[in-house]
């Protein structure tokens, strides 16, 4: 089965572009969306698309900001959105349990503050650490964890087109990349890099200057698999031809036995 993730940069805007329905029909079993930017009430029918028996939206307290949504052909055993009061108000997390599988749909914070000051980096890193601690506890229970979403960090130089130009930019700061290193040392694996070692693969492009057309982008959307889940991952992909957002979807194909 396919598990897919997409930062939609506004779910209502994506729907107006008629980009949502064709993508949902392309075959995923579980879908996580980030940057939904609306509550379930505001989304109306978009909060539960036709043909998706399970749907869940977690919105930010601030209107028009952040938010995540989960659509699934399988009914999860549970969905938890709590990580701590200072994080929960931003609507960034859904932990959906399907048998022995936990799918974490996550919109990680951006470190940029006002005027690109990087003053949100401490908050961003504390979110990373709190979530990793939470997921480690689930792994200790014998569960298999997939973490998907917009991580807002390019891990290595190969993961963005112009690394030297962005050494001081949030998303490629040494401390942000080091935090992803810690995830890897704790047994998480970048599923895309399991299958593709080459350059030129990105999931986000600035909307100015024709960056997408020229493929001047960043790979900041991931599906990480913990060591216990990795053997069930059979393929991973980035889908740059899917338009409608400044991000494109990413996905993994997994053995259905991952839930058993």
Q: What is the mean pLDDT of residues 177-197?
A: 98
Q: Which pLDDT tens digit goes with each residue over 163-172?
A: 999 999 999 9
Model pLDDT, residue 102:
99
211 confidence band (pLDDT: 50, 70, 90): very high
Catalytic residue among 150, 159, 190, 221: 150
Three-state secondary structure readout of the chain: CEEEEEECCCHHHHHHCCCHHHHHCCCCCEEEEECCCCCHHHHHHHHCCCCCCEEEEECCCCCCCCCEEEEECCCCCEEECCCCHHHHCCCCEEEEEECCEEEEEEECCCCCCHHHCCCCHHHHHHHHHHHHHHHHHHHHCCCEEEEEEECCCCCCHHHECCCHHHCCCCCCCHHHHHHHHHHHHCCEEEHHHHHCCCCCCCCEECCCCCHHHHCCEECCEEEEEECCCHHHEEEEEECCCCCCCCECCEEEEECHHHHC
Q: Is 165 one of the annotated active-site residues of the chain?
A: no
Predicted pLDDT of residue 114: 73
Q: What is the pLDDT of residue 113?
A: 80
Query: Is residue 207's pLDDT more than 90?
Result: yes
Predicted confidence band of residue 117 (pLDDT cuts 50, 70, 90): confident
Indicate the average pLDDT of the chain.
Answer: 97
Please report which confidence band the pLDDT of residue 115 belongs to, taking 50, 70 and 90 as the band edges. confident
- pLDDT level of residue 176 (50, 70, 90 thresholds): very high
Confidence label for 111 from pLDDT (cuts 50, 70 and 90):
very high
Q: At 258, is the pLDDT very low, low, confident or very high (cuts 50, 70, 90)?
A: very high
pLDDT at 233 over 90: yes
Question: pLDDT tier at 143 (50, 70, 90 boundaries)?
Answer: very high
The mean pLDDT of 90-111, rounded to a whole number, is 98
Indicate whether 83 pLDDT > 90. yes
pLDDT score recorded for residue 175: 98
Q: What's the mean pLDDT in 135-150?
A: 98
């Amino acid at each position: 089965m396919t598990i897919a993730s997409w930062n939609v940069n506004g779910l209502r805007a994506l729907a107006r572009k008629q980009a949502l329905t064709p993508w949902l029909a392309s075959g995923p079993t579980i879908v996580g969306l980030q940057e939904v930017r609306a509550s379930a009430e505001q989304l109306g029918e978009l909060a539960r698309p036709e043909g998706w028996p399970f749907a869940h939206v977690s919105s930010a307290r601030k209107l028009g900001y952040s938010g995540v949504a989960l659509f699934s052909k399988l009914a999860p055993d549970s969905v938890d959105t709590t990580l701590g009061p200072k994080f929960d108000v931003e609507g960034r997390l859904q932990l959906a349990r399907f048998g022995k599988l936990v799918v974490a749909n996550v919109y990680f914070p951006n470190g940029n503050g006002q005027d690109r000051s990087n003053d949100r980096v401490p908050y961003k890193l504390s979110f990373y650490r709190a979530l990793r601690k939470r997921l480690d506890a689930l792994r200790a229970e014998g569960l298999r964890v997939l973490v998907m979403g917009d991580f807002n960090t390019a891990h290595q130089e190969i993961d963005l087109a112009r690394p030297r130009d962005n050494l001081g930019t949030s998303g490629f700061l040494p401390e942000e990349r080091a935090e992803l290193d810690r995830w890897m040392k704790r047994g998480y694996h970048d599923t895309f890099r399991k299958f593709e070692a080459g350059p030129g693969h990105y999931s986000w492009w600035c909307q100015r200057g024709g960056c997408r057309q020229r493929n001047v982008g960043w790979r900041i959307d991931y599906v990480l698999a913990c060591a216990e889940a990795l053997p069930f991952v059979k393929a991973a992909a980035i889908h740059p031809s899917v338009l409608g957002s400044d991000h494109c979807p990413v996905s993994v194909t997994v053995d259905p036995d991952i839930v058993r």
